[in-house]
Amino acid sequence: MVSQNKHLSEILKIYKKYTDENVPAEVAMDLEAELKASRLLSPVLEDGDNLILDKVEKDDLTCLPLFTSTDEFEGHGDSGVILTFAIDEYLDIIKEEGLDGIVINVESECIIFDTEFLEGLPEDAPLNVADNGEAFPASKLREIFETTEHDSFGDEEIFAQLSDAVMLNLVYSRDSLDDRLEDGILSADDVGEFRLCAVETERGNFVPIFTSKANLKKLVPDDGLFYYGQITRMSALIDFALANDLDGFIINANADEKIIPRKDLLSQARGIELIVEDSRFDAAQDYAFKI
């Protein structure tokens, strides 16, 4: 899945309407959050084994040009390689190269963020983990996967409700992993990192999560891929949704669907109303189960 930074592009267009002095606080916060979540593109040239960074002069500043999508840098110049990094990684690059900042979409919005601004972006909130005891072994996780079931979620304090719930999610493989199942359990030690799923709906692209195995099975598509189930580690799915420019979570897609919008997930990244994760599920990402 390749991020094209749709959400960052939208907030940049809004931000562009204001001067630095009158940017509304909510717009500034949304911009900072989307910048932190972005995976911007940087075209570079190859010179033998070396990569040569592009540089542009804007407003007496020497900046690294970054782009929200491949469409944005078409016509900007020749490029042999496209880098895709998070904003923190680009900050390290511009400091190492002695540049003054970045310019995003130089051919359109042409918005400059200097090094001082980038250094002032808020840090990601730390995980909020409740120490409820030692991590469950794989056999116990499978038992919970098979039996967990929750009622529908209300509209108020959704993250508090999620903190008290055990949710499920889908992972997939291009090849069947059934021959590596042991008692219905797959281990990442045997098959490598599990690939998380997204689903396209009329309302956007979402990470699907489920209140029961029965609801999870309703969404398994017949598309030639091979699907398995997991107990959800919310912090990992939030990172996945933000990094892949998805529109949020959808609970029980194809059933009683409830949307948790991206804006709410960004509030998690900023440390607002954090989900409390249970230490007993620390190993949940390491296992998947036959559906």
Question: For each successive 10 residues of the chain (291 residues), what is the average pLDDT?
Answer: 79 89 90 93 81 88 94 71 90 95 92 95 83 95 95 81 92 96 97 94 93 93 94 93 94 86 85 82 96 93
Tokens for 262, please give them: 């991206």
pLDDT value of residue 13: 93
pLDDT value of residue 75: 63
pLDDT value of residue 1: 43
Instruction: Select from 70, 76, 62, 68 the least CA-distant residue to 107.
Output: 76
pTM of the entire predicted model: 0.87
E-assigned strand segments in the chain: 39-47, 50-53, 56-58, 61-66, 81-86, 101-104, 111-114, 129-130, 168-173, 185-187, 195-196, 199-201, 204-210, 226-231, 248-251, 258-261, 277-278, 287-289
pLDDT value of residue 28: 92
Give the CA distances from residue 110 to residues 53, 75, 145, in Å, rounded to whole numbers and listed in that order: 18, 15, 49
Q: Could you give the domains of the chain?
A: 6-119 (3.40.1350.90), 129-289 (no CATH)
Cα–Cα dist 291/272, whole Å: 34
pLDDT value of residue 77: 61
Tell me the pairing of strands 61-66 and 101-104: parallel
The identity of residue 22, as a single letter, is: N
- Helix 234-243 to helix 262-269 angle (10° resolution) is 110
Do 140 and 150 meet the contact criterion of CB atoms below 8 Å apart?
no
Tokens for 129, please give them: 């983990």
Cα–Cα dist 234/236, whole Å: 5
The identity of residue 47, as a single letter, is: D
Do 3 and 245 meet the contact criterion of CB atoms below 8 Å apart?
yes
